[in-house]
Amino acid sequence: MHLYKILIFFFLCFFPYVSSALEKNDNISFNQMLQKSVDDIRVKYALPALSLSIKLPNATQIRNYVSGYYSSLQKVKITPDTLFQMGSITKTFTATIVFKLIEENKLNSNDSLIKWLPEFSRWKNITVDDLLHHTSGVANYTSGKSFDNLLKNTLKKIGHSVNWLQ
**Predicted local confidence at residue 22, as pLDDT:** 46
Residue 52's CB is within 10 A of a number of other CB atoms, namely 17
Contact (CB, 8 A) for 143 and 131: no
At a CB cut-off of 8 Å and minimum separation 6, what does 45 contact?
Answer: 9
The per-type count for the chain, helices as H runs and strands as E runs, is: 6, 3
Q: What is the pLDDT along the chain (166 residues), one digit of tens a residue?
A: 444 445 455 555 555 555 454 445 555 688 888 899 999 999 999 888 999 988 878 888 888 999 999 877 778 889 888 877 777 778 888 899 999 999 999 999 999 988 988 888 888 899 999 988 888 887 766 666 777 777 777 777 766 555 544 4
Residue 5 CA to residue 66 CA, distance in Å, equals 19
